Amino acid sequence: MYVTGSGVPRDYGKAFEWYLKAAEQGYPEAQYSVAVMYVSGKGTQKSQFEGIKWLRKAAEKGVTEAEGDLGALYDEGRLLPQDHKEAMRWYIKAASKGYANAQCNLGRMFEQGLGISKDDAEAAKWYKKAAERGHAGAQNLLGSMYASGRGVPQDYREAVKWANMAAEQGYAPAQYNLGVMCEMGLGVAKSKQEALRWYRKAAEQGVEAAKLKIRELEMEAVPKVPGRP
């Protein structure tokens, strides 16, 4: 209530006090909330040490988001020593319970061979699970696998389908990829206008490759003066 301001004035300090009381009594969801507040510094003094301590407690009690977050810390080597095998262990726990972020990260671990043998088919499987839950990053990665035929049969229409889902959510890498497919006519009718539309959306979010593509296509559209190269 104090976090959302539902029925009472929003007060992160009060929220932290109540979460901490519950966390100390062993309530896993409260332990996760305390971890998040320590890491972010909302409602209490920022403390990475305390944040990790409570995150681990919540993860060990099966809080799905905590499992996924702990896996990410090990994966990235952020706040904890980098350990891809430990990251895999926590990602698998969270992914098996349907947590889309963990499913996407698990797919990436299989695709890149981090902490486990490289396996494109397994990567595509986990990307698809996350993609079906609406995870834009996973949708884009799954589309890329269909475009290249890695882990799945090559299918440009499927590539366009998944890239489009991510692009419609405003995911810039997918907007760029969709622009490429429209420009080249892969899995969709060839259209420079449609390609430009998606390149512009990606460029607005800072994708440099999209800005270059826009300049190229706009230069192509400029009528050439006879006698000039």
pLDDT in tens, 10-47: 789 999 999 999 999 999 999 999 999 999 999 999 99
Classify 1-61 by CATH class: mainly alpha
What are the domain boundaries of the chain?
A: 1-61, 64-133, 139-220
CATH of 139-220, one of 3.65.10.10, 1.25.40.10, 3.40.50.2000, 3.40.50.300: 1.25.40.10
Q: What is the average pLDDT across 69-87?
A: 96
How far apart are the C-alpha atoms of 82 and 90, rounded to whole Å? 13
Q: Helices then strands (H, E): number in the chain?
A: 12, 0
Q: CA 171, 105, 177: angle at the middle one, nearest 5? A: 30
* DSSP state string for 90-129: HHHHHHTTT-HHHHHHHHHHHHHTSSS---HHHHHHHHHH
Task: Confirm or reject CATH 2.60.120.620 for domain 64-133, answering yes or no.
Answer: no
How far apart are the C-alpha atoms of 222 and 186, rounded to whole Å? 25
Of how many residues is the chain composed?
229
pTM: 0.88
Confidence band for 116, pLDDT divided at 50, 70 and 90: very high
**Two structure tokens written together for 215:** 């300049």
pLDDT in tens, 126-185: 999 999 999 999 999 999 999 999 999 999 999 999 999 999 999 999 999 999 999 999
